[in-house]
Copies of this chain bind each other. A is one copy, B any other.
Amino acid sequence: MATIYDVAKKVGLSVTTVSRVLNNRGYISEATRKRVYETMEELNYQPNELARSLLRKQSNVLGLIIPDVAHPFFSELASHMEACAYASGYKILLCNSHLDPDKERDYIDMLKRNRVDGIIMGSHTLEVDEYRTLQRPLVTIDRMIDASIPYVASDNYLGGRLATQLLLDKGCRKLAHICGNLALDLLANQRDAAYVEAAAAGGVEALTYETGTNVFDEGEYRELVKQLFAEHPEVDGIFAGSDLMAAFVLQECARLGRSVPDQVKLVGYDDVPMASWFVPSITSIRQPIRQMGELAVELLLKQLAGEEVPPATVLPVELMERETT
């Protein structure tokens, strides 16, 4: 690869001058600028960002740690983040933690060694201290790790309430909430709190079924749904923690010959595109995934620019009523 020296030599100028036209700094004559550009073109010159980053102490790379891009929620989130970062001249280094603490720690160290400018955490399995000592801007998604770390989330409490209220309004008499493991301490846990309260207020019985702490495991999800219907066949309203889980509920209902929404009503969560692809299409609580991704990136960039950012950003959710209720 051509270096700035090659360009300088070929065009008969010093590297300083070439660097100047490259960065549009200081005074350079039009003629010189033109000649330099031409030469760069000829040599197919691409400035070495590693060298630049080393000098500037800024890499224009952001680290993204999520459980797994293969999960529809995170893949959509990642897609929007990438687009937003790209628009501001930043790149994304992709890390799938699989919720494995060793891997997550490893990734964090890797990101530090590579001097990423900031990190977005959509996964957290370590002790608070390991995040606090990170020495670089952080933003989390849907988790409050520490007061010093800004987070982006949607209104989980409202989401839980909307979902439950809808099931109540539709006349359900016995509810179940199938959700991720509450020990993971996500803000998503507020959905369950809201669910429990709303159900109590409505005078309706409310079960909660938690998955294990593994990252998305299809078999386990299916088992849980099976178990729920086996133990409580009289359940007639289900609030699922994701559209994915809702899909499994739909399938299990079909297997059991229970019609949705006639005998069982179902509300999913996230409103990933998939939710509207099923028959019946899945009623869901929409998280503004695009906004969440963009905001996370923006908050990170703001921190990099030395600006203050709010410690918490909670975006509104919306009930998307479809055919399962």
Least CB separation from A53: chain B residue: B50
Q: Beta-carbon contacts of A44-65 to B below 8 Å, as 1s and 0s?
A: 1011111101100001010010
Given that A82-B69, A250-B279 are contacting pairs, would A135 and B94 also be in contact in the complex, using a CB cutoff of 8 Å?
no
Counting CB contacts under 8 A, is A27 at the interface?
no
Contact A91 B75, beta carbon cutoff 8 Å: no
Contact A114 B91, beta carbon cutoff 8 Å: yes
Query: CB-CB < 8 A to A273: which residues of B?
Result: 218
Pick the contact of A277: B70, B103, B251 (CB < 8 A).
Answer: B251
Which A residues from 137 to 192 make CB contacts under 8 A with B? none
Least CB separation from A93: chain B residue: B91
Given that A96-B82, A274-B274, A279-B279 are contacting pairs, would A49 and B115 also be in contact in the complex, using a CB cutoff of 8 Å?
yes
Contact A95 B70, beta carbon cutoff 8 Å: no
How many chain copies does the complex carry?
2
- Size class of the contact patch on chain A: 35 or more
Contact A115 B48, beta carbon cutoff 8 Å: yes
Counting CB contacts under 8 A, is A213 at the interface?
no
Pick the contact of A50: B44, B47, B114 (CB < 8 A).
Answer: B114
Pick the contact of A70: B75, B92, B244 (CB < 8 A).
Answer: B75
Q: Closest CB of chain B to A59's CB: distance in Å?
A: 7
Q: Beta-carbon contacts of A258-279 to B below 8 Å, as 1s and 0s?
A: 0000000000000001100111
Which A residues from 286 to 311 make CB contacts under 8 A with B? none
Counting CB contacts under 8 A, is A248 at the interface?
yes
Given that A70-B75, A93-B93 are contacting pairs, would A59 and B50 also be in contact in the complex, using a CB cutoff of 8 Å?
yes
Contact B46 A54, beta carbon cutoff 8 Å: no
Counting CB contacts under 8 A, is A212 at the interface?
no
Give the segment of A9-17, A105-113, A203-211, A231-239 that binds chain B.
A105-113
Q: Closest CB of chain B to A48's CB: distance in Å?
A: 6
Contact B46 A247, beta carbon cutoff 8 Å: no
Query: CB-CB < 8 A to A135: which residues of B?
Result: 1
Counting CB contacts under 8 A, is A254 at the interface?
yes
* Residue from A70, A76, A133 having most chain B Cβ neighbours under 10 A: A70
Query: CB-CB < 8 A to A115: which residues of B?
Result: 1, 48-50
What are the nearest 5 A-B pairs in CB distance?
A: A75-B75, A70-B79, A254-B279, A247-B277, A49-B113
